[in-house]
Amino acid sequence: MAKNLQTRRVPIVPGHPKLAQLLSNYATLLRDEGKYAESESLYKRALEVWGNGLYPDHPDVAEKLTNYATLLRKLDRQSEAEPLEARASTIRTKAEVSNQIN
């Protein structure tokens, strides 16, 4: 007989980086399934969480910006994708410089 397993719930408060990660992962899944409108909405929410959180220049944000830019390029919205890619590049450069200093 199987043991009764309890599900462990991890509370995630609004603005928590894990929430941004979950939203972004789901957005990427929806993007890959061709559900672009839903995907875009989730990317925006994820970036909002990151932007309002403690780590707006974290390397993970660069990844999210790049993923969202990929979606915008699929939608033929290059002019919207370019600033996101530029910001992602700036974040990555800052992270590399910081790693070299440390």
Per-residue three-class SS string for 25-88: HHHHHHHHCCCHHHHHHHHHHHHHHHHHCCCCCCHHHHHHHHHHHHHHHHCCCHHHHHHHHHHH
pLDDT one-digit tens code per residue, 64-86: 999 999 999 999 999 999 999 99
pTM: 0.79
Residue type, 67: N
The domain limits of the chain are 17-101
Q: Please tell me the predicted confidence (pLDDT) of residue 16.
A: 77
What dotted CATH number matches 17-101? Answer: 1.25.40.10
* Cβ neighbours of 10 (radius 10 Å): 6
